Chains A and B, each alone.
Chain A
Amino acid sequence: MHSPLSTKTLSAGLAVVLAATGALLGCSKDSSKGVGETQAATTASAAGGLAVSEKEVVVGQLHSATGTMAISETGSIEAERLAIDQINQAGGLLGKQIKIIQQDGASDWPTFAEKAKLLLEEDHVACVFGCWTSASRKAVLPVFEKDNGLLYYPTFYEGLEQSKNVFYTGQEATQQILAGLDWIHKEKNANTFFLIGSDYIWPRTSNKIARKHIENVLKGSVVGEEYYPLGYTEFGSLINKIKAVKPDVVYAIVVGGSNVSFYKQLKAAGVTAQNQTLLTISVTEDELLGIGGENMVGYYAAMKYFQSLDNDNNKKFVAAFKAKYGPNSVIGDVTQAAYLGPWLYKAAVEKAQSFDVDKVVAASPGIELTTAPEGYVKIHPNHHLWSKLRVGQAQLDGQYKVVYESELIEPNPFPKGYQ
């Protein structure tokens, strides 16, 4: 017998690796070109080495177009593109057209960090719209801080973060939770709560805030708190626990595929809106489509935006979205928040009269957007948005009917007394 390591190993290996290296080199050149021509990147320098030329300004878009998160992030990609198209049609930014370089984070956190680096260091984009999960945001954050980039992040999230280089266009946890609990406490005379979550940071942090609010402010009690692994599908025991303690409200932060199992099994076990009040902060219209309206009808969701919001801004937005992406598109909370990103950036750039990141950041606090589909929003000095909270009731057709709207709520990512 020959040694298992044959002569062939290296010649074959080397040839392929050399070819790959060549391709890598080629790719490194390609990537600096991005979607469009390079002249924008090379003739940069209008604002601190950013890719801004006479005619155009280059921005980045960094979401998962592939992998497990693609389902969720596609809406954000579409909304950001829609907003940028609209801005371009209206004359662009300081007279320049916006050019998008899209990178795929592929649902993989190191890839997000790499692509962020690529966008900032090779393409010198003026700002980036991107990320969806907290994990991906945490992965890119050091890159943005090191290279002094600018990120608009659309998802409602757990808070506990505030970076000079990030604007959070979704709600942080207290904005989404407190007003909803207040409403259900008053409206349904609810005093006992059962908290449920998928087992990761957002549901856990959110439930922690909810618990403090229930116990300290509402003077109610939490009669159960349960977490299940992501992707879990057997909720029989949980449902029995709920039945055993009969809480006034089930407060559910279940995500992803588990959602479908959870609501289907609730219904099959005879738990429906007629005999159990349920409030969720994790089921947008996107998820409702997968769960099926018939399995959730009558339950409540608390978020800042519902597709059914009745105002002119929203009607225009929904119409434009459907015209671009098809009449069956659904628009969830995050999709709308992603749509705000480019508009907030436009307002800040025009106020600063510059694309320079430091100037844009300095100009941002206090910026108001009256054209937002959700209504009026305003940037807080802590880089989050003032926004309202709505409670919607799930309908058979997969939409929510808005039953409550709060006052404008101040964002508070590091809530005292809730940590």
Chain B
Amino acid sequence: MPVAESSRRPAASVALRHVTTVLFNDARRRENIYFGVLAVLLLVGFPLLLDTFHLNLVGKYLTYAFVALGLVLCWGYGGILSLGQGVFFGLGGYCMAMFLKLEASDIASTSIQSTPGIPDFMDWNQLTKLPAFWVPFKSLFLTVVAIPLVPSVLALALSAAMFKRRVGGVYFAIITQAVAAILSILIIGQQGYTGGVNGITDLKTLHGWDIRSDSAKMILYFVNAALLLGAIALSFSIIRSKLGRLLLAVRDREERVLFTGYDVANIKTVVFVLAAAFSAVGGAMFTLQVGFMSPSFVGIVPSIEMVICAAVGGRTSLLGAVYGTLIVNYGKTYFSEAFPELWLFVIGALFIAVVMIFPDGLAGLDLRKALHGLLTRASGFARKRKKPAALVPPAAPSAPQTNAGSQ
């Protein structure tokens, strides 16, 4: 029995190695497989594992992943660090919230106001008429158009001029930060038009569909996950295109790209606008799932927290952005409950560690070797006691952990 087994073992091992070589040696195919695994995790794994409450929580985290994804593109690949992504997240969220608020403020439910039919906070601020910039948000179609468009236009206006004048990374970061400060002061100050510091609250239905019910939350989770996967797929196709290679080139040697005759400013602008649009979609999904939008998501602090999500995942890893977001936000929820005083220490240390110790984030961690070692030992142990079948890793997720041929 032991003899037969040991003679079979190399054969199985070789076969396995062969399969994984084919599957994983090609970087692109490897990415596709990981993407598939993420899709399964988001669309099947989480919904099966988590109850509605926690699924909704994950859904909220995933809206931040849109921002982190945008940051991977413009920071990790393009070298443009924006500390104002909350601006775009917020704008997207506010566009959605304006539509929902108008729907919640029909004449019947606002009859006690001095001007029925406008949002309650406008009535409190003596507005007697819907401001002009709110009017388009009566239409769902225009709202859906505005969600990516408004932030994109702002991003374009901000970035085009600066990139044309070759404003460096540091300056750009500081200016985006100031934009975040301006927008949050503006939203809080103009409360008759924006709802002020409370934000736009008490959102109920989307075209008559109650977004607060459990079934709606479930559906919104799937919509959100699907959109996120779509955004990741789009990002992959961009990175694999010529634009993606140019981006990397710009990040590493801007002058050389410039002297080769490319318009560096345009390349940077495109990717920054794209990141803004992604963030906006995340913001809109946030509003739908959480049920309100407030200026606390626009300011500097949330904007920088989103950078740390991208950094923890690995600043050049699109999929890492998702994992980074999940981990950082889960950590935030967990620590703020269990050890409230520790949370700032932890996230502060995380910032420092991600810069000084593991600059490539999760994507750069070599857990694989450790896991593989662990797995081999475990399977060897299992084989001694049970059937040899235990040798073959059970399911897809552990496939990457078999070490074969990826060097």
Contact = CB atoms under 8 A, between A and B. Distances in A.
A114 B57 contact: yes
Interface in B191-235: 191, 196-199, 201-204, 212
B340 A106 contact: yes
B172 interface: no
Contacts of B212: 142, 146
A393 B120 CA distance: 36
A5 B341 contact: no
Nearest to A141: B202
Contact of A13 (B185, B191, B363): B363
Interface stretch (B8-16, B148-156, B274-282, B317-325): B317-325
A364 B196 CA distance: 33
Interface centre among B114, B123, B124, B313, by most chain A C-beta atoms within 10 angstroms, is: B124
Interface stretch (B80-88, B159-167, B365-373): B365-373
A23 B329 CA distance: 13
B330 interface: yes
Given A9-B34, A13-B363, A135 B368 contact: no
Given A28-B54, A121-B53, A201-B197, A13 B320 contact: yes
Given A7-B368, A135-B197, A229 B189 contact: yes
A10 B34 contact: yes
Contact of A12 (B53, B203, B365): B365
A208 B313 CA distance: 49
B363 A104 contact: no
Contact of B317 (A5, A106, A414, A419): A5
B191 A15 contact: no
A5 B27 CA distance: 8
A135 B53 contact: no
Contact of A16 (B114, B126, B362): B362
Contacts of A204: 125, 191, 196
A306 interface: no
A9 B317 contact: yes
A323 interface: no
A139 B292 contact: yes
A104 B336 contact: yes
Nearest to A1: B248
Contact of A109 (B50, B296, B363): B296
A301 B73 CA distance: 54
Contact of B49 (A9, A21, A139): A21
A106 to B, nearest CB: 5
A25 B189 CA distance: 41
B389 to A, nearest CB: 23
Contact of B371 (A4, A15, A229): A15
B391 interface: no
Nearest to B60: A110
B333 to A, nearest CB: 8
A15 B189 CA distance: 45
A229 B185 contact: yes
B319 A135 contact: no
A65 B338 CA distance: 12
B169 to A, nearest CB: 18
B188 A199 contact: yes
Contacts of A414: 112
A82 interface: no
A5 B319 contact: yes
Given A7-B24, A12-B367, A141-B202, A66 B336 contact: yes
Interface string A145-187: 0100000000000101000000000000000000000000000
Contacts of A13: 313, 319-320, 322-323, 362-363
Interface centre among A21, A65, A108, by most chain B C-beta atoms within 10 angstroms, is: A21
A14 B212 CA distance: 31
B116 interface: no
A7 B23 CA distance: 11
Interface centre among B24, B27, B337, by most chain A C-beta atoms within 10 angstroms, is: B337
A5 B189 contact: no
Contact of B188 (A65, A138, A229): A229
Interface in B244-261: 248
A197 to B, nearest CB: 11
B252 to A, nearest CB: 10
Nearest to A14: B397
Nearest to B320: A9
Contact of B201 (A4, A103, A138): A138
Nearest to A201: B196
A111 to B, nearest CB: 8
A216 to B, nearest CB: 15
Interface in A181-235: 199-201, 204-205, 208, 227, 229-230
A398 B76 CA distance: 53
A328 interface: no
Contacts of B319: 5, 9-10, 13
B291 to A, nearest CB: 6
Given A12-B362, A419-B124, A5 B31 contact: yes
Interface centre among A2, A15, A23, A142, by most chain B C-beta atoms within 10 angstroms, is: A15
B50 A17 contact: no
Nearest to A134: B198
Contacts of A111: 333, 336
B50 A200 contact: no
B53 A117 contact: yes
B359 interface: no
A329 B316 CA distance: 51
A237 interface: no
A14 B37 contact: yes
A260 interface: no
B296 A108 contact: yes
B87 to A, nearest CB: 17
Nearest to A65: B340
B25 to A, nearest CB: 10
A406 to B, nearest CB: 25
B363 to A, nearest CB: 4
B198 A138 contact: yes
Interface string B40-75: 010001100111011001101000000000000000
Those 3 A-B pairs whose CB atoms lie nearest each other, nearest first:
A13-B323, A4-B316, A66-B340
12 contacts: A5-B27, A6-B363, A9-B323, A15-B367, A16-B323, A24-B54, A135-B198, A142-B202, A201-B191, A201-B197, A201-B198, A229-B185
Given A16-B323, A20-B330, 20 more contacts: A5-B319, A9-B34, A9-B323, A10-B37, A10-B319, A10-B400, A11-B371, A13-B313, A13-B362, A15-B367, A15-B371, A18-B397, A21-B49, A24-B58, A66-B340, A110-B292, A139-B292, A146-B212, A204-B196, A208-B126
Interface of A: 2-18, 20-21, 23-25, 27-28, 65-66, 103-104, 106, 108-111, 113-114, 117-118, 121-122, 134-135, 138-139, 141-142, 146, 158, 160, 199-201, 204-205, 208, 227, 229-230, 414, 419
